């Protein structure tokens, strides 16, 4: 992909952009080693999943072995029929557990710290046959062929795979610097052409409020690139948008 991009004129720089300001046709992005002047900006900074307390090596190994998963929309089918632990006993965790119930009858919701479930959530879980662990999580063990979740009361639960449903954090610092409108103070609001609220700024991928999927991000990018191309041409008096 790098070779293809460069073949068509793209310049790829490895850096971390810390600040950005300006307006359409006159943006400036400042990194640790580079300063970039640009007529338009496409923000695709994504989000970061909140992880359980695991060291990097254990986390990577658990992901590779399919014992730790973050996206039921992506790979819920791969966990069909398995014993699944969903970490996060709140409304978000309930929603994820109910989604996974389509793929397995053996699902248990485990609190990360406190069990924060209202009557409606409990009723929905009971109706779906989803168990609720009696106490919060103390630690996770991936050393065996199944995941062991140790609870604060000493109970040990075993699963084939676990899904942390702890939410995510949007990488929206650059959007905030530009004063771009955010949805629920998190993700960038765009129009049907992926244009943000500030002229000359576009957004694509998980940083946009939408389904966090690679295929969706690619669609965003195609739309944004076409709109950006047309908008630049129109500002130069090169004709109407196609």
The stretch 3-25 carries a mean pLDDT of 94
The stretch 22-27 carries a mean pLDDT of 94
Q: Is 30 helix (H, G, I), strand (E, B) or coil?
A: strand
DSSP symbols for 202-223: EE-GGGBSS---HHHHHHHHHH
Q: State the DSSP H helix or E strand holding residue 121, giving kind and residue range, or none if neither.
A: helix 119-128
Domains and CATH numbers, the chain: 2-48+168-235 (3.50.50.60), 51-164 (3.50.50.60)
| Confidence tier at 89 by pLDDT (50, 70, 90) | confident
Whether residue 200 is predicted with pLDDT greater than 80 in this model: the reply is yes
Whether residue 241 is predicted with pLDDT greater than 80 in this model: the reply is no
> Rounded CA gap, 52 and 184, in Å?
24
| Confidence tier at 240 by pLDDT (50, 70, 90) | low
In 3D space, the residue among 200, 229, 183, 234 whose CA is nearest the CA of residue 43 turns out to be 200
pLDDT for the residue numbered 185: 73
Residue 199 contacts residue 181 (beta carbons within 8 Å): no
Largest Cα span, the chain = 71
Bridging pattern class, strands 107-110 and 84-87: parallel
| 30-43 confidence digits (pLDDT tens) | 999 999 999 999 99
pLDDT for the residue numbered 239: 58
Bridging pattern class, strands 47-49 and 168-170: antiparallel
Token pair listed for 149 = 């979740």
Token pair listed for 136 = 């919060």
The stretch 122-145 carries a mean pLDDT of 95
Q: Is 139 helix (H, G, I), strand (E, B) or coil?
A: strand
| 134-180 confidence digits (pLDDT tens) | 999 999 999 999 999 999 999 999 999 999 999 889 999 999 999 99
User: What percentage of residues in the chain have a pLDDT greater than 90?
Assistant: 87
Alpha-carbon distances of 43 from 4, 64, 177, rounded to whole Å: 21, 29, 12
Q: Which contacts (CB < 8 Å, 24+ apart) does range 182-187 have?
A: 183/209, 184/209, 187/47
> Rounded CA gap, 174 and 188, in Å?
11
- Ramachandran angles phi, psi of 68, nearest 5°: -130, 125
Alpha-carbon distances of 9 from 3, 27, 226, rounded to whole Å: 10, 20, 16
Instruction: Give the ranges where 41-84 is alpha helix by DSSP (H).
Output: 56-64, 72-75
Query: What average pLDDT does the structure give for the chain?
Result: 93
87 DSSP β-pair partners:
110, 164
């Amino acid at each position: 992909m790098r070779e293809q991009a460069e073949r068509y004129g793209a310049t790829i720089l490895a850096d971390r952009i810390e600040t950005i300001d300006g307006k359409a046709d006159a943006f400036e992005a400042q990194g640790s080693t580079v300063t970039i002047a640009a007529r338009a900006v496409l923000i695709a900074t994504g989000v970061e999943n909140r992880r359980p307390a695991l060291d990097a090596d254990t986390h990577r190994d658990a992901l590779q072995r399919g014992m730790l998963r973050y996206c039921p929309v992506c790979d819920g089918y791969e966990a069909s029929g398995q014993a699944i632990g969903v970490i996060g006993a709140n409304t978000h965790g309930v929603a994820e557990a109910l989604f996974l119930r389509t793929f397995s009858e053996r699902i248990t919701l485990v609190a990360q710290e406190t069990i924060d479930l209202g009557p409606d959530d409990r009723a929905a879980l009971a109706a779906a046959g989803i168990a609720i662990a009696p106490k919060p999580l103390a630690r996770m063990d991936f050393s065996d062929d199944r995941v062991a979740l140790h609870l604060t009361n000493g109970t040990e639960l075993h699963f084939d795979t676990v899904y942390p449903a702890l939410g995510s954090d949007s990488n929206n610092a650059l959007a905030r610097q530009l004063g771009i409108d955010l949805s629920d103070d998190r993700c960038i609001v765009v129009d049907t052409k992926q244009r943000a609220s500030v002229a000359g700024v576009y957004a694509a991928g998980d940083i946009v409020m939408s389904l966090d999927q690679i295929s969706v991000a690619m669609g965003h990018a195609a739309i944004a690139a076409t709109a950006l191309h047309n908008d630049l041409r129109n500002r130069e008096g090169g004709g109407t948008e196609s």
